[in-house]
A and B are shown apart, each in its own frame.
Chain A
Amino acid sequence: MADAEEPEKKRRRIEDLTEKMAVDSGHRDGGCDWDGRWNHVKKFLERPGPFTHPDFEPSTESLQFLLETCKILVIGAGGLGCELLKNLALSGFRLIHVVDMDTIDPSNLNRQFLFRPNDVGRPKADVAADFINSRVPGCKVVPHFKKIQDCDESFYRQFHIIVCGLDSIIARRWMNGMLISLLSYEDGVLDPSSIIPLIDGGTEGFKGNARVILPGMTACIDCTLELYPPQINFPMCTIASMPRLPEHCIEYARILQWPKEKPFGETSLDGDNPEHIQWVFERSKERAAEFNITGVTYRLTQGVVKRIIPAVASTNAVIAAACATEVFKIATSAYIPLNNYMVFNDVDGLYTYTFEAERKENCSACSQVPQDLQFPPSAKLQEVLEYLTENASLQMKSPAITTTLEGKNKTLYLQSVKSIEERTRPNLCKTLKELGLSDGQELAVADITTPQTVLFKLNFTA
């Protein structure tokens, strides 16, 4: 893919950028603007109106604020991210950072319009930033080819508003947790200047949602976790001995046959490797034939193995547009922002539903209240672990539980490091009493769904 064309293209883009910098340097912004450029935007910033936010004051300075000062972070440079970057750039925002850990795949090209076939394999953040900067003169998108977890507090603190176009609930929760951790309280009162508004968008096929989160003030991601029901996997006994659907046959090949037969040596199954998918496809067909099950196709195989979610340009366009409108409203106080959740579905006509999601009193992320864990002393640690993962409001992925016993920090169970997992595994079968835990004991739980540990308080029941 990366052939002679690519370095040439890259060189031209860099030249373009430097040229523009030469024009801009020494000017605040005027160098790359032209007559009438911001006319569409100015009408909302320089004119009074009957529906504006109570804090709104028409002025020519709001536009300058957008162009020169307001810093926005876009999380994700995929289906939503590309749209968000375009929307923000054409609304006057110039200081934009974008974070994305992925590289470009051919299946992105039907909607991630900042990417071309030649870009396949390159980091999304880089290519997106290049494109926007070259198409929208003056816009300075800074790319970060990394995971959100690889950026620290000081990175996130610099932004006025953060807008997410993520494809993972875990990542959303992590981002949510990060912004909550930035909040500062004085005498129990939230300092408004520590709030960074989070606009979150999500899409799936023809459905989508956009929401505005003011961490510490309005419902956060975890407050409404029940809106995202946990993904259901097929039961093992169905897969192992009682397949009925083509999907069961595919899971059999993926989960049971692959580790057993190791068709490509020690390599783990890579959904992006066509050879791997082909192997799974053929094993699945064999299995299906055994049980007279029809319907195994290559496309279905890939869909099941990669847990593919269908996607089109239109839904991403709608949701990103709604999100960007909210960024604009909040940055300029032009209008009262969405309060606080909009749902969209265009399967049958077009449908939107707007409502105020409520904060959860004991939200594990934003309520600052230690979470209650009610168990009898005879309960095994395994039960606590299951509760943390299966409870609809917690939905932890791989919680690591630690506590303080006799003044010392003790790890009760941790899954992510093999040696520690082996060492602490016996604890799962021990009762809470056997582990030396007492009523009111505080347990600190770490998990990928949150950047900060969550505090739980053990409440012994009879």
Chain B
Amino acid sequence: MASTKASKEQKYDRQLRLWGDHGQETLENAHVCLINATATGTEILKNLVLPGIGAFTIVDGHTVTGEDAGNNFFLSKDSIGKNRAQAATEHLQELNSDVSGNFVEEGPDKLLDNDSEFFHRFTIVIGVQLPESTCLRLGSVLWSASVPFLVCKTYGLIGYMRLVVQEHTVIESHPDNALEDLRLDQPYAEFQNHIKSYDLDSMEKKDHSHTPWIIIVAKYLEKWLSEHNGQPPKNYKEKEAFRQLIREGIRKNENGVPEDEENFEEAIKNVNTALNPTKIPSAVEDLFNSEQCKNITAQSPCFWVMLRAVKEFVHNEGNGSLPVRGTIPDMIADSQKFINLQNVYREKAMQDAAAVSKHVESLLQSVGKPAESIPEKDIKLFCKNASFLRVVRCRSLAEEYSVDTVNKDEITSCMDSPDSEMVFYLMLRAVDRFYQQHSRYPGVYNYQVEEDISKLKACVNSLLQEYSLNVNIKDDYIHEFCRYGAAEPHTVSAFLGGSAAQEAIKIISHQFVPFNNTFIYNAMSQTSATLRLLELNGNLPFADLFSSPNLPM
């Protein structure tokens, strides 16, 4: 029962409002590979099938056990004894008839032995509950093929995700608290002319109280600049004085009482942000200075060509600034004044985008590609988001695991904080080591819990020694990880299921910003952290434990 376009619009309405039709299209063209249909795996896949990815393939050589059927919504009692990939595919397929489900009844190691390029066809590969050796092998193959790899693991009450992608560009990052691009500090010619067309003093009362606050601030800024040697208000005292200046502009009635002019109140309220100097964000400057931007070739992805074009624009038509974004916030004003002002910004944005287009054209020409290879609308979208461009680069698994390139400083400094989630990262590495040595995980059977504690401790110590990590891991954690017995409780799997799926959607759609590069969830305390285990000679000089990349809601 394939869906019609109309029924898909209805079905996907709530998510189309987040990533748009173009975002949905990227999902519908994606083919996701899931390795291991454990509870974590099927929960991740469920959250990708429901929003309508084009296709999925489950790779899993395991047979469904009683345990599997107990914690997995997409396996039933009847699945026991069947191949896990097949059983899970049946139940997942059922969630959305628009999605094409496939399965391979073999493990990844065997697959790679027989066909080293098997995984090249996928938009993203998600590996769940993989032993370290398989993980590293896959990591290497996918890295060479530039296929994004998302490693996920639920271990007791700990969830773990690691994103492995060489370079992921984001044009539409949709920042939560974006600053407006108003250019009040450096009004372009058309904006200046528009401001000139207003004479606040001679206006009728109705017009005066319905003049957009942007114009009001612009007018009073002109006044201030003329009285202060061309210097805008800089500190708190000056800004207060500036606000007062505006307040004095409020019309008074016959009795000298100030009228109710909400637009003036808006102007006063917005002074702080309005006076922000127009500046290219440092993140964007960094991108301008990167190798990919400097060396445009025929193989350069569109992102870099457009970025280079914007850089050229900045150094030419832009006079040191990015293309004008072209949007203004709503504000108290009559319709005509608002629309006219909005059009001044819109037209400038179109002009700037056209200039950038010319640069794109000449860049494409210089590398022998047709101008049509980057459509106009893509350039417009790029210009509109010029302040918000992001590039995520994650180091390879090989680098993370290698003794030579492991980031000791990061690990050591995190471990100085008693509540750091870093300890769980180390425990997961230790548990992997245990598995390598004993071909099983610690504490799976009750009788093993006690005796495995010392064995796991030995693994912890050898790990710390091998990487010369001078940290201490309390015995409690070693006991707890034996206690877990490699359990995969459903609720922790489900948490990771939601988290990982959304990261995969970010990778597929190139909208919103993926995490970089290790995420740990602790269900005991309901806390999480993003660890960024950088190269030793990475750009950031200090420990990079992000536990709060954004401000609270």
Contact = CB atoms under 8 A, between A and B. Distances in A.
A342 B73 CA distance: 26
Interface in A258-295: 291-293
A417 interface: no
B210 interface: yes
A44 B526 contact: no
A242 B476 CA distance: 65
Interface in A342-400: 342-343, 345-354
Interface residues of B, number: 92
Nearest to B514: A349
Interface string A311-343: 111111111111011101000000110100011
A206 interface: yes
B467 to A, nearest CB: 25
Interface in A225-241: 238
A105 to B, nearest CB: 8
B335 A243 contact: yes
Interface in B54-88: 65-67, 69-73, 76-77, 80
B15 A110 contact: yes
B524 A110 contact: no
Interface stretch (B170-178, B181-189, B293-301): B170-178
B499 A310 contact: no
A321 B502 CA distance: 15
A185 interface: no
A314 B487 CA distance: 23
A207 B550 CA distance: 12
Contacts of A155: none
A322 B548 contact: no
Given A343-B552, A349-B516, A350-B519, A46 B73 contact: no
Contact of A345 (B69, B546, B550): B550
Interface centre among B1, B7, B494 (most CB of A within 10 A): B494
Contact of B335 (A113, A244, A342): A244
Given A87-B490, A313-B47, A325 B18 contact: no
Nearest to B494: A321
Interface stretch (B269-277, B284-292, B401-409, B478-486): B478-486
Contact of B485 (A43, A310, A321): A43
Contact of B525 (A299, A343, A354): A354
Given A40-B487, A41-B489, A244-B338, A110 B14 contact: yes
B339 A205 contact: no
A118 to B, nearest CB: 9
Given A109-B11, A314-B502, A37 B67 contact: yes
A314 B17 contact: no
Given A41-B489, A91-B490, A343-B553, A35 B66 contact: yes
Interface in B189-217: 210
A90 B71 contact: yes
A438 to B, nearest CB: 36
Contact of A293 (B13, B339, B515, B530): B339
B117 to A, nearest CB: 30
A321 B66 contact: no
Contacts of B371: none
Given A40-B488, A317-B501, A352 B176 contact: no
B232 interface: no
Given A348-B176, A353-B548, A49 B553 contact: no
B113 interface: no
Given A50-B476, A206-B502, A242-B335, A349 B10 contact: no
Contact of B70 (A49, A90, A315): A90
A49 B333 contact: no
B12 interface: yes
A350 B494 contact: no
A124 interface: no
B95 interface: yes
B76 A312 contact: no
B458 interface: no
A129 B384 CA distance: 47
Contacts of A338: 525-526
A430 to B, nearest CB: 27
Given A46-B446, A244-B339, A353-B552, A36 B526 contact: no
B513 A348 contact: yes
A146 interface: no
A86 B526 contact: no
A399 to B, nearest CB: 28
B549 A321 contact: no
B335 A352 contact: no
B553 A207 contact: yes
B491 A324 contact: yes
Contacts of A110: 11-15, 50-52
A13 to B, nearest CB: 14
B479 A350 contact: no
Contacts of A90: 39, 70-73, 490
A248 to B, nearest CB: 9
B363 interface: no
A135 interface: yes
A308 B176 CA distance: 19
A421 B12 CA distance: 43
Interface string A86-113: 1100110000000000000011011101
A351 B550 contact: yes
Contacts of B70: 34, 36-41, 90
Interface centre among A51, A91, A205, A351 (most CB of B within 10 A): A351
Nearest to A34: B66
A83 B43 CA distance: 10
Contacts of B487: 39-40, 43-44
A291 B335 contact: yes
Contacts of A322: 491, 495, 523, 526
A110 B50 CA distance: 5
A206 B523 contact: no
B131 interface: no
A398 to B, nearest CB: 28
B526 A342 contact: yes
B291 to A, nearest CB: 24
Interface centre among A111, A349, A353 (most CB of B within 10 A): A349
10 contacts: A37-B66, A41-B71, A47-B449, A110-B15, A110-B52, A207-B553, A244-B335, A299-B13, A313-B501, A328-B491
Interface of A: 34-41, 43-44, 46-51, 83, 86-87, 90-91, 106-107, 109-111, 113, 116-117, 135-137, 205-207, 209-210, 238, 242-245, 291-293, 299, 302-303, 308-322, 324-326, 328, 335-336, 338, 342-343, 345-354
Given A90-B73, A117-B7, 11 more contacts: A34-B66, A43-B487, A49-B479, A50-B476, A51-B480, A109-B50, A110-B12, A244-B342, A315-B502, A317-B47, A324-B494
Interface of B: 1, 7, 10-18, 39, 43, 46-47, 50-52, 65-67, 69-73, 76-77, 80, 94-95, 156-157, 173-176, 210, 330-336, 338-339, 342, 446, 449, 476, 479-480, 483-485, 487-495, 497-499, 501-503, 505, 512-516, 519, 521, 523-528, 530, 546, 548-550, 552-553
